[in-house]
Structure 1
Amino acid sequence: MTSDPNDVIDLGNRLLKQYPDAFSTEFNTNKEVVQNMTYVSSNRLRNRIAGYITRQKQSHR
């Protein structure tokens, strides 16, 4: 999977929609959840997805 910003946003939004209660406002927690729920091959991409989800959760408090 490429690390295109649109791919990160699309996958992050899909995960948030399917599992809204699985994620928190903590990056490290979200990083582990993303790793367990997806088959992302690179740590950089996993971290970008987890960071996007963390920012979304923090802005929707």
Structure 2
Amino acid sequence: MGRIRQTFIKRTGEELIEKFADKFTSDFEENKKAVEEVAMISTKTLRNRVAGYVTAKVKKMNA
């Protein structure tokens, strides 16, 4: 079973995918940089969690 993510992380990740779909890939490191560029997220931990969520969503969409 997977981890349950907070609503904030899911909502933010989905909004970023809708607005900036072309910036995200299935690579976590690239997504970290992209999230940092396009979103105003205050902490590194939240940035990484959002980037991880976006990475998982992109992998599912491409599968």
Same fold? TM cut 0.5: yes
Partner of 1:34: 35
User: Which 5+ residue runs of structure 1 have no aligned equivalent?
Assistant: none
1:5-30 CA distance string (max 9 Å, x none) = 10000000000001111100000000
Partner of 2:56: 55
- Aligned-pair identity in percent equals 29
How far apart, CA to CA, are the structure 1 residues paired with 2:36 and 2:21?
Answer: 16
User: Which 5+ residue runs of structure 2 have no aligned equivalent?
Assistant: none
How does the TM-score come out when normalised to structure 2?
0.88
How far apart, CA to CA, are the structure 1 residues paired with 2:41 and 2:12?
Answer: 11
Structure in which a larger fraction of residues adopt helix: 2
Partner of 1:43: 44
Is 1:8 aligned to 2:24, yes or no? no
How far apart, CA to CA, are the structure 2 residues paired with 1:45 and 1:22?
Answer: 19
How does the TM-score come out when normalised to structure 1?
0.90
How far apart, CA to CA, are the structure 1 residues paired with 2:15 and 2:54?
Answer: 10
